[in-house]
Amino acid sequence: MSGFAYLPVASALHDGASVERLLDGLSTALTAAGGRRTDTPAADAPLAIVVLTGGTERFVLDAVAARRQTEPVVVAAHPWHNSLAAALEAVARLHQDGRPARVIYLDGTAHAETALAEAAHDVAVARRLRRLRIGLVGSPSDWLVASAPTPEVVRDAWGPRVVPVDIAEAVASYRSDAPGTAAALAASVAGGAAAVGESGAVVTAAARVHPALADLVRVHRLDAVTVRCFDLLGELRTSGCLALAELNDTGITAGCEGDLPSTIAMVWTRLLLDEVPWMANPAQVNTADHELVLAHCTVARSLTTGYRIRSHFESGLGAAIDGTLHTGPVTLVRIGGRRLDRCWLAEGESVRRPVREGLCRTQLTVRLPATAIDDLLTAPLGNHVVVVRGHHRTRLEAWLRTMRPSPVPAQEVGHD
């Protein structure tokens, strides 16, 4: 969880001694949640405004006005001295003004401390997204007709800056690197596989895409990338599957096909939940059993219980990962809409099913509520979804509603 600064505000009608006693009573919870006191709203940290008394609504608004325009704030209330009423009034005005904010009620319980710590972390994630640089290596793939937002839309809706990078840079970097540059990665991938269906030369050629992309990350100061990876098949006669898997396993979120909405979902869930995400195609639906089959040719190896190396499915070129994923609870995420203002969320259970030929190599079957399948088919947002381990819909919905400059309306958040 993230640390934060907390700013106490109180009405002048209350004497200083009683106000300090109020704050002393709350300081244990504030400190336990990661807070440190500040006397300035301009502190360079996520901010929680602690409403000690009623009559402080204007103080809250003034403090928020001193912050960055789009940065969310937490407003903490307690059970006495009309604190909650003042907090609700202030946050209602902030929402009217389009300012993201959340009320946390400090009632002395462990649940309240957890809620405060989570809220501070949520603000930190929003701040981090505003500082993030996503490299768009090549343009979005031609088939992403609903998933190619402009950099301005991405910036306005979610915060990151999109950094266009010519795919030719990746190709040139690949060709200029010494052939042995990726020998260690190739050996690690082959050595950890249950079976290797491609030659050592093919695996090494695919592994060499990793240092080429890592060079772009360094040169352009990128925090994440999404790559028009099918162009590599034509230019280099190899695939980007191993490279993207390795980037995801080493902390650089990496999406496929130049899909910005899915890469944003990957970055967001990773920052918020500290889970490595997986991006995949919805490939098959069993409406009778409410099961969705997901498939893709790359996956972070850390997400697998074992894997094989095979060729890239569509092209038969390069090397792809045929991974076996954990069973258990998962959350599916898809961001979309013309302004990236819609989000489909569904909780489900991944189950073991036989690997199907005729699909991308890594496959996962997820059992979902019937309503989630219906929403996916009747109001789709695009051709990829992002999967994270665990059930996180409530947390993700809370972030969407209270941490964005224009919060996603409840009806736009998918339910299962």
Residues 180 and 107 in one domain: no
Q: Is the confidence at residue 53, as pLDDT, over 90?
A: yes
Pair (16, 77) in one structural domain: yes
Q: Which residues pair with 226 in a beta bridge?
A: 136, 255
pLDDT tens, residue by residue, 80-89: 999 999 999 9
CATH number, residue 69: 3.40.50.10940
CA-nearest of 74, 53, 77 to 63 is: 74
- Residue type present at position 177: D
What would the pLDDT profile of 355-366 be if each residue is shown by its tens digit? Answer: 899 999 999 999
Q: Judge if 108 and 148 occupy the same domain.
A: no
Other CB atoms closer than 10 Å to residue 330's CB: what's the count?
Answer: 25
Residues 88 and 208 both lie in one domain? no
Residues 238 and 378 grouped into a single domain:
yes
Q: Is residue 42 very low, low, confident or very high in pLDDT (cuts 50, 70, 90)?
A: confident
What does the pLDDT look like over 368-393, one tens digit per residue? Answer: 999 999 999 999 999 999 999 999 99
Give start and end residues of each alpha helix (H) in 71-196. 83-96, 110-131, 151-158, 167-176, 183-192
The DSSP-derived string for 36-66 is EE-S-TT-SS-EEEEE-SSS-HHHHHHHHHT
| Prediction pTM value | 0.94
**Residues facing residue 73 across a β-bridge:** 101
Angle at 318 between CA 304 and CA 281, to 5 degrees: 50
Residue 40 has pLDDT above 70, yes or no: yes
**Residues 97 and 149 occupy one common structural domain:** no
Mean pLDDT of 19-43: 92
Which of 86, 112, 131 corresponds to the end of one domain?
Answer: 131
* Alpha-carbon distances, residue 235 vs 122, 238, 251 (angstroms): 41, 8, 27
127 and 138 part of one domain: no
The parent domain of residue 276 ranges over 133-412
- pLDDT, residue 14, reads 79
Q: How many CB atoms lie within 10 A of CB 165?
A: 21
Give CA–CA dist 93/116, Å, rounded.
21
Number of domains, the chain: 2
> What's the pLDDT at 126?
96
Domain boundary among 86, 107, 131: 131
For 3-34, b/e burial (b = at least 16 CB within 10 A) is ebbbbbbbbeebeeeebeebbeebbebbeebb
Q: Considering only CA atoms, which of 337, 340, 382 is closest in space to residue 156?
A: 340
Asked if residue 147 and residue 124 are part of one domain, the reply reads no
Structure tokens at 233: 């098949």
DSSP state of 108: S
The first and second tokens of residue 64, run together, are 């928020």
Give me the pLDDT at residue 201, please: 95
In this structure, of 66-70, 243-247, 257-261, 355-359, the range with the lowest mean pLDDT score is 66-70
Residue that finishes a domain, picked among 89, 111, 131: 131
Mean local confidence (pLDDT), 126-146? 97
Mean pLDDT value of segment 8-26: 89
How far is it, in rounded angstroms, from Cα 117 to Cα 127? 15
Please indicate, yes or no, whether residues 15 and 138 belong to a single structural domain of this protein: no
- Beta bridge mates, 135: 163, 225
Residue 222 pLDDT exceeds 50: yes
Residues 171 and 320 in one domain: yes
Cβ atoms of 332 and 367 within 8 Å: the answer is no
pLDDT value at residue 410: 40
pLDDT at 409 over 70: no
- The answer to whether the CB of 336 falls within 8 A of the CB of 147 is yes
Among residues 220, 188, 151, the alpha carbon closest in space to that of 319 is found at 188
Task: State residue 163's pLDDT score.
Answer: 99
Same domain, yes or no, for 143 and 109? no
Q: Does pLDDT of 405 surpass 90?
A: no
The secondary structure of residue 157, as a DSSP letter, is H
Q: Are 51 and 75 in contact (CB under 8 A)?
A: yes
Indicate the pLDDT class of residue 133, thresholds 50, 70 and 90. Answer: very high
Asked if 101 and 195 sit in the same domain, the reply is no
Give Cβ neighbours of residue 389 (< 8 Å, ≥ 6 apart).
275, 303, 326, 328, 329, 330
